[in-house]
Every structure is written in structure tokens, then in C-alpha cells.
Copies of this chain bind each other. A is one copy, B any other.
Amino acid sequence: MSETKEKMVSLADQLIRVRGFNAFSYKDIAEPFDMKNAAVHYHFPAKADLGIGVIQHERNKFATNIAKWKKLPEQEQLQHLIEVFRKHCHAGNICLMGSLSTDYNTLAPEMQLEVQGMAEDILHWLSHTLENGRKHKQLHFHGEAIDRALMIMTNLQASLLMSRVLGPEIFTRISRQLLDDLIP
């Protein structure tokens, strides 16, 4: 992917997180590059292509991250995940999954599939990490790991939504409670 394309994907990522997929246009991409609308269409023929680019970039980044964390104790892997969300909270972003889930019904089918894939990626990794953490006495919870992964995932996702409305204190409270529950 060319440098311009990558920078456009990065900008679109920001716009999706800050304003939502249906609340930005090619104009918002073109202007910061001092280009015309049509130049963006040259790189991404349809808006869905840009959206798919953003999701695939995020999925790759996630894959890189979990590979990097692989050797760490599960407790620390989880803290790294929370740290990713904390940074987004600080920047006023919500998570890509949350933003695109809200707009899900208005997305092109190819984009919906990518969103689905991203959700499965995260849940798959999280439930495995939780299961291993329990086996190694690093993490403590009852019930199935997949259920606990769903609880944690929804906590993190919506914590960014609520922080946007009620302030970053919300995220601090939720992430602290999350760790207190798993590491008593």
C-alpha cells in the first residue's frame, strides 16, 4: 500500500472513531492532503473500500500486538489490552468495533463481514488468554472463558462510549474494577 493510501486509512480511522462512519465524507479526507475529492476516489473507489482498509489495518495491528505479548504472563497481556483502550480514551476516540457496530446496518455487506471478523479475532484471543490465565493461576473468574471474554470486551467497548459522555473518570473506574475482579 502506498504512503498516501496508508495515511488516508489512518485519517479515516480517526474520523470513524471521533465522528462515525456516516458522519465524514471524502472531502474530510481530501482537504488535509490538499487534494480534490476525486483523488480519494482514485485510491479508494468506494467509501466501503476505505472502510475495509481501516478495519484490515486495525486487524493487522491487533495481530502484531498479540504476537508481541505472547510470551508475557496473561495478567500483563490483559493490562496491555487495557492500555490500548486507555490511550484511545485519552485521545477522545471510541473503539473501531463500537463505532462500526452502531452503523452496522448501514454498511456495505463486505464491510459488515470485516467488522464480524474483527469481533471474532478479539473474542477468540481474549477467551484463550483468560483460559490460560486461569490455568496458570494468574487470573480468577468463574464461568466459561468465552462468557468472561464477552463481559470484559463489552466493558471496555462501552467504557469509551460512556467516557465520551460523562468524562474520562468513567474509564478509570471501569478498568480498575475490571482488574480488581480478575486479580483479587
Give A residues with C-beta under 8 Å from B. 18-20, 22-23, 92, 94, 97-99, 101-106, 112, 115-116, 119-120, 123, 142-143, 146-148, 150-151, 153-155, 157-159, 161-162, 164-166, 170, 173-174, 176-178, 180
Contacts and interface: CB of A to CB of B under 8 A. Distances in A.
Contacts of A119: 162, 165-166
A115 B166 CA distance: 10
B19 A158 contact: no
Contacts of A142: 180
Q: Most chain-B Cβ atoms within 10 A of its Cβ — which of A151, A164, A170?
A: A151
Contacts of A176: 147
